[in-house]
């Protein structure tokens, strides 16, 4: 293993078995999850920056979100939902 555990230096075995726990395996799992969560957080920050750029360029952030949501759906689904939305609104006098 290239990366030895950083705090359990006193274990000569391949995986430091502490209290029946495979410490290296556990540490590896936790560090990988933490790294991926850091990356997710960075991406969320990037998205926030782009939406800020959009607002600065005069676009409406909520409407951009609606566009993205529409693009995720099948065109047939979008059309059916818009037809129903119109129908329900008219039924409700909206």
Q: In angstroms, give the least distance from the CB of 52 to a copy of itself.
A: 11
Name the residue nearer to a copy of itself (CB basis): 7 or 76: 7
Question: Both tokens of residue 52?
Answer: 């800020």
Question: Both tokens of residue 6?
Answer: 């950083």
Q: In angstroms, give the least distance from the CB of 12 to a copy of itself.
A: 16
Question: Both tokens of residue 59?
Answer: 């676009």
Q: In angstroms, give the least distance from the CB of 15 to a copy of itself.
A: 10
Question: Both tokens of residue 64?
Answer: 């951009």
Using CB under 8 A as the binding rule, whether residue 89 contacts a copy of itself is answered as yes
Burial (CB count <10 Å: 0-12, 13-18, 19+), residue 35:
exposed
Q: Which of 85, 81, 64 is nearest to 73 (CA)?
A: 81
Contacts to a copy of itself by CB under 8 A? 1-8, 16, 18-23, 25-27, 29-30, 32-34, 36-37, 39-40, 43-44, 46-47, 50-51, 53-54, 57, 59-60, 62-64, 66-68, 70-71, 81, 84-85, 87-94
């Amino acid at each position: 293993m290239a990366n030895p555990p950083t705090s359990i230096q006193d274990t000569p075995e391949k995986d430091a078995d502490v209290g029946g726990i495979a410490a290296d395996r556990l540490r590896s799992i936790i560090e990988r999850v933490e790294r991926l969560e850091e990356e997710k957080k960075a991406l969320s920050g990037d998205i926030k920056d782009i939406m800020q750029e959009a607002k600065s360029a005069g676009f409406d952030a909520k409407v951009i979100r609606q566009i993205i949501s529409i693009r995720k759906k099948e065109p047939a689904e979008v059309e059916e939902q818009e037809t129903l939305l119109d129908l329900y609104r008219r039924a409700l006098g909206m």
